[in-house]
Structure 1
């Protein structure tokens, strides 16, 4: 099973949370192959791996109550990245609680569905902690939110394995 974590991180906050998601994925599915790809670093983009992935977890910092423009540009221009029929999930980082991170996550998932992906948000069906759309970490709470992001990663791995891996 292959899972791509595709994110943009300027300050390192979103990247740190991507690492926690990866830890969660690997705790649930140790045999999984997981690659981190930061849109800031073109060299980290492994299109072949992304195209072979069953799931893509997107991570965006929240700017002006929305996703970062780099992620929007990815959805608009990277047609070499085959996203259709994969599981999509998303997390966000923000500077403040009312910064619009939930809008950023919804927008990413909307773009993912437009590209033919299946949206997964964990939701309330998995019990506590509830992760309705995707986890959010504020810049002053990154370490405090680590377990939430690991749980999210585990849940993404569970669903990817359940729905996309042939047994």
Structure 2
């Protein structure tokens, strides 16, 4: 089963979170994960993906303009029915990363995606909307981020099959 992680990263921090989410996804069986910066999107892989995770840095309590531009111009990219999840990076608590997550979720809903986070139903760690990574990546955040990736993979398996199909 395939999952795409699409992100915009200027400093490398958002890319690093994408890599950690990918590690968590791959803890589940039979997953192919492709990390794609906005200017390197493999639309063939994206089309075949059962899930897409979007990540953005936070600027003024919003997603990056590059991510917004991609959503605005990707009208021919069919994401309907795919499981979708989000993450954001920011510089400080209260910097608006939660608003950036909600903006991504709004775009995903317009695209017809099935939005997923795990919420509080799965217990600790609670990940209500998506991962938010502030400045330094400590061991606790890395652990939570891997769990987030693993939960996305588990839900994709539950919704779309057991992963035994030919990749």
> How do 1:1-150 residues align onto structure 2 when only pairs under 5 Å count?
1-29=1-29, 31-39=30-38, 42=39, 44-141=40-137, 144-150=140-146
Q: How far apart, CA to CA, are the structure 2 residues paired with 1:112 and 1:142? A: 29
Contact 1:3–1:55 (8 Å) recurs in 2: yes
Question: What is the CA-CA distance between 1:143 and the residue it aligns to?
Answer: 5.2
Which residue is equivalent to 1:155?
Answer: 151
1:58-86 per-residue CA deviation (whole Å, 9 max, x = no partner) reads 01111100111111111110123221110
Unaligned runs of 5+ in 1: none
1:79-103 per-residue CA deviation (whole Å, 9 max, x = no partner) reads 2322111011001100001111111
Question: What is the CA-CA distance between 1:144 and the residue it aligns to?
Answer: 4.5
Question: What is the CA-CA distance between 1:149 and the residue it aligns to?
Answer: 0.8
1:112-134 per-residue CA deviation (whole Å, 9 max, x = no partner) reads 01111111121000100000100
> Where does structure 1 differ by over 4 angstroms across 4 or more consecutive aligned residues?
none
Please give the root-mean-square deviation of Cα atoms over the aligned residues, in Å.
1.3
TM-score under structure 1 length normalisation: 0.93
Corresponding residue pairs, total: 163
TM-score under structure 2 length normalisation: 0.93
Contact 1:66–1:100 (8 Å) recurs in 2: yes
